Structure 1
Amino acid sequence: MGTRIGADVGGTFTDVVVELAPGDYASTKALTTHDAPERGIIEGVVELLERCGIDPADVAQFIHGTTLATNALIERSGAVTALVTTDGFRDVIEMRTESRFEQYDLDIVLPRPLIERADRYTVAERRNARGEVLVEFDEAGARSLVRHLVDAGYESVAVGFIHSYVDPTNERRFRDLLHEVAPNLSVSISSDVSPQMREYERFNTVCANAYVRPQMSSYLIGLRDQLAARGIVAPLYLVHSGGGLMSVESAAAFPVRLIESGPAGGAIFAADLAARFRCDRVVSYDMGGTTAKISLIENARPDTATTFEVDRTARFKKGSGMPISIPVIDMIEIGAGGGSIASVDSLGRIRVGPNSVGSEPGPACYDLGGEHPTVTDANLELGRLHPDTFGATDIDLAPALASAAIDRVVGEPLEVDTLAAAVGIVEVVDENMANAARAHAVEHGKDLSQYTMVAFGGGAPLHAGRLIDKLGVSEMIVPSGAGVGSAIGFLVAPFSYEAVRSFYTSTVDFDVAGATELLGALTEEALCFVREGTDAEVVIERQVSMRYSGQGWEIPVSLAPDLDDLAAEVLATEFAKAYEGFFGRAIDDLDIESVSWSVRVSSVVPARQTIELDRTGSRRRVAGATRRVYDSAVLGVVEAALFDRVDLAAGDRVDGPAVISEAQTTTIVGSRQCCVVQADGSLLIHRYRGAT
């Protein structure tokens, strides 16, 4: 295929990976350039290609993931956007669902709507849930509104009419009227972006798409042109939130699909590793400079969802964020990274995150002007990091600056020494991440003690040893290339697309013909997106979301390739099994409704050669040097053996306490833990079993 490149732009670091051969990668990590993210990418790519001696013309694919869309939503830095909706529904995105995520909190703070009321407009038109016309589309009123929107100078327009997922005619007509007057105006319609029932979620999703579309389109097209100017004319693909690849043109049209772009690459990376080691249950733990992401993977497939929330006002509280209705890898994300800021609140408690120093100015120890103490500063103070082995390009750690910042902000207010303050910072961030993992597992009815952890990202190997103790997880894997895991995940992701649409029918009077027609249309839509990137063999998966009559939410049920006259009975049986799996028992004598249908088309990824995990090791390695490191397992400072990861070979066993350093991250092996190097270079760390 030629050379392939993956580039992941995070809040602190930009990771660039080149695939030299299947499973063999070269990489670089540099501080993210927030004012122009493409600049950091280009610099990293040029440096890496020169180092590897690769001609830019030999690059066959460039795969990119970015947090730019997410940042625009959280920072409210998107386009000047208007919402046009059905007369009478102007305030849906502000009224939300009228539910409260904290029922008895009198000071509850709900997310501010993405589009203010002054920028929301209505058109006289109305259809019911069956698509029947209740109010005819007001053509004259629509034309008058179009002229006002253009004269007002809006950069983007979101259009969401009631029940347009059943019949999108009026939304499409309003878009056509806009383009007649302003052909270059960015217009997003909900029947294209998220053709699903529940108007609040659908309207919010189309607003988000319209809000970030001009910025993302300009960025993506600009990045493609800059790559071409440097001789890289390969197709540019984006990783979408569902964990697959899509073309740059599709991404520019539907940037809301990119909101969980980078984290999705990490989950794909962990799933690939799970398949390689034949681990049935894996908890993916990705900690970078700004956030930590945790997801559950079973049978080498990440859990997925059709809705997720952005910019929650309350940590771990469902309903406190902006809902986005798109297919997404299900994960929990918190503000816990190497750059997360530590402070002391009014009650004398140490707080860590969610705010981060990012790459500008970075942690105090980076000596780039940062004054806030961070998790990275605490790890340096505790001996887990060291200036001699910190592998980030052009960064020389300054321990004295880290100590001074920790003392000033945490140590002095609490009247404790620097070491104790640093221990407090690390323990707080570790407990925050452990709580997030517990909450995510409980919401899905899972027991984490039955899982293997996969730790990657620049910060995860530093903290994962402590996390498995807190969570009762017996073992964890730190893969090769862990520091740039998400970018490697981009290179193993399939081309895929999931098309979703609401269509109501009941098992009492099941509409076989309507469901078959819908599935055919969804399959064609998904195939069209996938064929933009590849003509490889594909796998087609179908699902329907079902519920008992009277319930408000659904659970997914897999569909057979074809529906027949017995489809209602088969689906009822499969739904009862799925319901029992979720809730312990099914309910008899209730009608079952099918609400939302989806088709996922994915290119076939070549099977990886599997590896049997070696849990004992054949050779015990003894280090020639040690360093004093704080070990949370024994609540004290210990002499930890020092190893360079490149010097370790398959079968080597390292007994803790130990520090294993590499170019882009550092792995901590606790006093009661043992590390065994696997055949592919991965590190398997488990609780010490008395090996000698």
Structure 2
Amino acid sequence: MWRVGVDVGGTFTDLFAWEESTGRQVTSKVLTTKQDRSIAVLEAIQKAGIDIADISYLMHGTTTATNALIERSYPDAAFITTEGFRDTLEIGRQHREHLYDPYQSKPKPIIKRRYRYTVPERTNVRGETERPLDIAAAHDVARKIKAARIKSVGIGFINSYVCGEHEKQMRDILLEHCPDVHVVLSAETRPVFREHGRFMTTAVRAACMPVMVKYMDDLEARLRQHKFVGKLLILKSSGGVMSADVARLHPEDMLESGPAGGVAYAGYLTEQSGFERILHTDVGGTSFDVSIVENGKGLITRDHELEWEVPIVVPMLDIHSVGAGGGSIGWVDSGGSLRVGPQSAGSEPGPVCYGRGGTQPTITDANLLLGRLDPTLSGKMVLDFAAAEKAMSNLAKQIGLSTLATAEGMIRIGCEYMAQAVKKILVSRGRDPRDFVFASFGGAGALHACFVAKSMNIPKVIVPPHAGVASAFGATVMDLRQDLEHFYYTPVQDADLRKINGILAELEAKAKKALKEQGFENEHDIELVRTAQMRYVGQSYEVETPIPNGVLTQECMPRIEQQFHACHLKEFGVSSEDFAPAFVSFGVAAIGRMEDPPPVEISHMAGGDIIKGMRDVYFEGKWTSCQVYKGEALGTQHRIEGPAIVEYEHACTVLPPNTHAHVNAMGALVIDIEK
């Protein structure tokens, strides 16, 4: 039986799989079918030569929910809230994205104002009812939603994170009138304070649920037609997997589903190569993703923003994305400056050189013209050099540069966008780039990795085996995961340990039960990870702090406080024992350990030629003759001096001048960059 990982990206759908009895590994890459992404999933499986009936686990990373939100391409949803809070979703936190821009505008609302309804009710911060739910008004709202033929509704009342009874009442009334509607409660989505994040996350779940239900239904139906009897697991943004049934009802947990696989592969690299601090980067066709992985674990955030003022308050891997990928389009702004992205050619029509109808030059076209790409993409397709050159020439005329200078300028600008994304995530988490290894994933990642790393003073780049399908590989090393959280604010010195232990015990029991319901049977293989959201009394932001398992006693409190000080120092460069720490909420992650994959297969062609040939490559305004190496043929005995090109089945590495590389024991290409 096969264990298969699939990552559906904006341009390509990637697959990595291993056979459980023999350890044999296969990969494939196909163009994403935008009209129905499930088609590309089946095409990738077919291209890999795998019989769907022989798949035991299909781990699937998908951008379907993210794309639906970004494009606002979902059926109209409704939102019901407390009287006086109708516009909380749109008003947000009254922040400004650009402080001095008087013409900026907020993103398009997740839920249209005409479908945002209010009812009189009020619960205070202690969970006490100050005003009962107005039953007549609730029925009136339910009738309006039925008349509007809305199929998905979010309910978010003020202070319902303490007591959600009014939300449950509203749900019961709504279902009397609309029995087929999807109903989402904020008290069940994320019972935490700060209503804007809680309401927005609830609205996102309500908006995406019909989209994900249809996608999962279509995918499972297609798989069943091919006699699929295994388990379909979906990648979560927090770094685990969940069953398809759970994914249908929790689309907010899939907003970083695809990149999460890459983070898992970076964690696998830590185990195999010993690099404790890895900067995970992934360049696909539409975007550049970057995140920090320390000691094999990706950093978690609860302050992720899908867009400006669209916060998602569930635990998510702290992944920052920008529109800089292989399909990013070059264009000239109103000031006559060359720009790159964020708009992308995607898979339809794709870069000009793909010959699928694209007319605007992309990063991929620029790399082809500069000699950095194989004109056949390692045998996958014949790239149209003349068409790419014509499109780049048209762009070059607009800015008064030569075609090659424009192509190289596009690469520099794209790499600078990537470097700024790296800088943002490192600085925001208080990390020094010189302490990290730059791990390059994605089909277009290694083309640019050395340039981005050098820009950020990162001394070493690693291109692992199967880097071109890294997120699909990472999917196969992920564990089943359930994250739960409960709000409880108290200064540590005033903490009611009996209540805290009760909260943790309840969360652990629910998390274990959730894993069992998803088919994980061996309770002894479940790992429970406890955390607390903590802050200094008076602060307005929290720091995630690990707390010990077992019954918490008064003797544990000093150690937890010291742990919080250490976490605060690591994140912000400062801590103080003069201020009292406080608990804000408690979280539990239940992790069901899955079987690890076999070691990565390394095909050394003993005695064979590692050189594919020579190719002229354009660096720094001039052509340089470079050797082109067969990436899969390289062994630990080989050393490569830049400039050079290393080509793999699904990726291509560019070694610019003043770099040198070797292959480590796991088959990864490790590149040292001279200062």
Given the two structures, how large is their TM-score scaled by the length of structure 1?
Answer: 0.92
Q: Name the structure 2 match of 1:580.
A: 569
Q: 1:669 to 1:147 in 2, by over 3 A?
A: same
The answer on 1:505 being equivalent to 2:482 is no
Q: Name the structure 2 match of 1:28.
A: 28
The answer on 1:535 being equivalent to 2:534 is no
User: Residue 281 of structure 1 is aligned with which of 259, 277, 280?
Assistant: 277
5+ residue gaps, structure 1 = 312-319, 612-617
Measure the CA separation in 1 of the matches of 2:31 and 2:566: 49
Letter in 2 for 1:143: H
The answer on 1:493 being equivalent to 2:475 is no
Letter in 1 for 2:521: D
Q: 1:501 to 1:379 in 2, by over 3 A?
A: same
Aligned residue for 1:19, secondary structure, equals strand
Contact 2:450 2:673 in 1 (8 A): no
Measure the CA separation in 1 of the matches of 2:612 and 2:597: 36
1:391 CA drift (Å): 4.7
1:172 CA drift (Å): 1.7
The answer on 1:427 being equivalent to 2:412 is yes
What are the superposed Cα offsets for residues 307-366 of structure 1, whole Å, 9 maximum, x if unpaired? 20113xxxxxxxx24111111100210000000010111222111010101111001100
Q: 1:291 to 1:391 in 2, by over 3 A?
A: farther
Letter in 1 for 2:376: D
The answer on 1:671 being equivalent to 2:657 is yes
Larger deviation, residues 168-177 vs 477-486:
168-177
1:24 CA drift (Å): 4.8
Q: Name the structure 1 match of 2:367.
A: 379
Contact 1:510 1:568 in 2 (8 A): no
Q: 1:475 to 1:342 in 2, by over 3 A?
A: same
Aligned residue for 2:404, secondary structure, equals helix
Alignment of 1:206-605 (within 5 A): 206-311=202-307, 320-392=308-380, 395-409=381-395, 411-531=396-516, 532-536=518-522, 537-561=525-549, 562-604=551-593
Aligned CA RMSD, in angstroms, stands at 2.1
User: Residue 107 of structure 2 is aligned with which of 105, 111, 129?
Assistant: 111
Letter in 2 for 1:264: A
1:511 CA drift (Å): 1.6
1:688 CA drift (Å): 6.0
What are the superposed Cα offsets for residues 253-284 of structure 1, whole Å, 9 maximum, x if unpaired? 11111111001111111111122111111101
The answer on 1:651 being equivalent to 2:637 is yes
1:619 CA drift (Å): 11
Measure the CA separation in 2 of the matches of 1:359 and 1:582: 39
User: Residue 684 of structure 1 is aligned with which of 645, 661, 670?
Assistant: 670
1:587 CA drift (Å): 3.2
1:517 CA drift (Å): 1.6
1:605 CA drift (Å): 5.2
Contact 1:619 1:651 in 2 (8 A): no
Measure the CA separation in 2 of the matches of 1:516 and 1:296: 32
1:44 CA drift (Å): 1.8
Q: 1:370 to 1:83 in 2, by over 3 A?
A: same
What are the superposed Cα offsets for residues 44-78 of structure 1, whole Å, 9 maximum, x if unpaired? 21232xx3xx4432211111111110011110111
Q: Name the structure 2 match of 1:316.
A: none
Contact 2:611 2:630 in 1 (8 A): no
Contact 2:285 2:444 in 1 (8 A): yes
Measure the CA separation in 2 of the matches of 1:592 and 1:47: 56
Letter in 1 for 2:209: R
Contact 1:430 1:463 in 2 (8 A): yes
Q: 1:94 to 1:346 in 2, by over 3 A?
A: same
Q: Name the structure 2 match of 1:314.
A: none
User: Residue 180 of structure 1 is aligned with which of 176, 189, 193?
Assistant: 176
Letter in 1 for 2:73: S
Aligned residue for 2:528, secondary structure, equals strand
The answer on 1:19 being equivalent to 2:18 is yes
1:573 CA drift (Å): 3.2
Measure the CA separation in 1 of the matches of 2:109 and 2:586: 28
Measure the CA separation in 2 of the matches of 1:444 and 1:55: 44
Letter in 2 for 1:155: K
Contact 1:651 1:679 in 2 (8 A): no
Measure the CA separation in 2 of the matches of 1:529 and 1:178: 27
Contact 2:614 2:627 in 1 (8 A): yes
1:592 CA drift (Å): 2.7
How many residues of Structure 1 are paired with residues of Structure 2 in the alignment? 665
Contact 2:569 2:575 in 1 (8 A): yes
Q: 1:215 to 1:389 in 2, by over 3 A?
A: closer
Contact 2:529 2:590 in 1 (8 A): yes
Letter in 2 for 1:648: L
Alignment of 1:22-171 (within 5 A): 24-48=24-48, 51=49, 54-171=50-167
Aligned residue for 1:215, secondary structure, equals helix
Q: 1:610 to 1:20 in 2, by over 3 A?
A: closer
Contact 1:677 1:684 in 2 (8 A): yes
Measure the CA separation in 1 of the matches of 2:576 and 2:349: 57
Measure the CA separation in 2 of the matches of 1:98 and 1:220: 37
Contact 1:644 1:660 in 2 (8 A): yes
Q: Name the structure 1 match of 2:603.
A: none
Measure the CA separation in 1 of the matches of 2:309 and 2:261: 23
User: Residue 624 of structure 2 is aligned with which of 621, 626, 638?
Assistant: 638
1:607 CA drift (Å): 7.0
Larger deviation, residues 104-113 vs 299-308:
104-113
1:156 CA drift (Å): 0.8
Given the two structures, how large is their TM-score scaled by the length of structure 2?
Answer: 0.95
Contact 2:256 2:319 in 1 (8 A): no
1:651 CA drift (Å): 2.2
Query: Percent of counterpart pairs with the same letter?
Result: 35
Q: Name the structure 2 match of 1:615.
A: none
Measure the CA separation in 2 of the matches of 1:580 and 1:5: 41
1:606 CA drift (Å): 5.9
User: Residue 614 of structure 2 is aligned with which of 620, 626, 633?
Assistant: 626
Contact 2:476 2:597 in 1 (8 A): no
1:579 CA drift (Å): 2.7
Contact 2:186 2:202 in 1 (8 A): yes
Contact 2:125 2:159 in 1 (8 A): yes
Contact 2:536 2:581 in 1 (8 A): yes
1:566 CA drift (Å): 3.7
Letter in 1 for 2:10: G
Measure the CA separation in 2 of the matches of 1:586 and 1:663: 48
Contact 2:89 2:196 in 1 (8 A): yes
Letter in 2 for 1:418: T
Contact 2:430 2:572 in 1 (8 A): no
1:134 CA drift (Å): 1.0
Larger deviation, residues 324-333 vs 662-671:
662-671
1:88 CA drift (Å): 1.2
Q: Name the structure 1 match of 2:2.
A: 3
5+ residue gaps, structure 2 = 601-605
